Amino acid sequence: MVYIIELRMNDWKKFQEKETEELIKLIQGKETNQQTLDSVFIAICFKFRESLAKFCIYLCNNRGYDIDTGYLIVNRTFRSYYKSKKFNINKGNCKSYHDNFLVYLQKIARNELNDFYKEEQKKINNQYYDGTEEIILKLPEIDYTRLPPEQRAIHEVLLSFSHKHQVIYLTYKAHEKDGVNLPLNLRNKLRNYVDLKQPTIRTYKKEVIDKIESIKKAINTLKTK
């Protein structure tokens, strides 16, 4: 497993000198396999992260947010593009393909910052939940062998824990918002189902998170080699 992950983490380097146009065609191509998609995406992130970070930090400063929020918006912007992969060169007004794509990322960043603001307001007004939230009883039924190596490793970690650990982690993963407690009704349902008190639930949750983070850290270490 570690050998496979290491190979995949280094694959992106063969794309780092490619032109932006070629990278976009690869990542938006319907025939591109998952491993290449992931590698090209990493190459795109490295190519544009500095310029995008300067823009996002400037944007956030103007809205009263700090540098950490700027980097958060950078990550959200790249993630949003990876989900959609809908860049259209024909809508750009810049002279180069590279600049047109950067402007496209900047538009996404503005939208992400607006979404971030709305999310923060919901936190303040406690409007995140509507009472329909339910506990998550099991992992989704998928062919996990087809997942990217990192996601497969996380899936295997979850399977190694007890059912109660899984239910607690999955419920929090599905419904927890940064800085906001789960609604009381949902917490009560969870406590009743796993037959544990809240401090123990927090411990179970932390055990799973710590194990997953250790896996992620190991993978990130491989990325830098």
pLDDT tens per residue across span 111-164: 999 999 988 887 666 666 777 889 999 888 777 677 777 788 888 889 899 999
pLDDT in the model for residue 107: 96
Maximum alpha-carbon separation in the chain: 63
Query: Is it the case that residue 6 has pLDDT exceeding 70?
Result: no
pLDDT in the model for residue 37: 87
Best-predicted range by mean pLDDT among 13-27, 102-116, 164-178? 102-116
pTM of the model: 0.56
pLDDT in the model for residue 222: 64
Q: How far is the C-alpha of 36 from the C-alpha of 132, rounded, in Å?
A: 39
pLDDT in the model for residue 195: 96
Place of tokens 């979404």: 115
| Mean pLDDT lowest among 33-47, 120-134, 168-182 | 120-134
pLDDT band at residue 4, thresholds of 50, 70 and 90? very low
Instruction: Give tens-digit pLDDT for 57-74.
Output: 999 999 999 999 999 999
pLDDT in the model for residue 93: 82
**Mean of the per-residue pLDDT values for the chain?**
85
The CA angle 81-216-3, to the nearest 5 degrees, is 100
Local structure of 180: helix, strand or coil:
strand
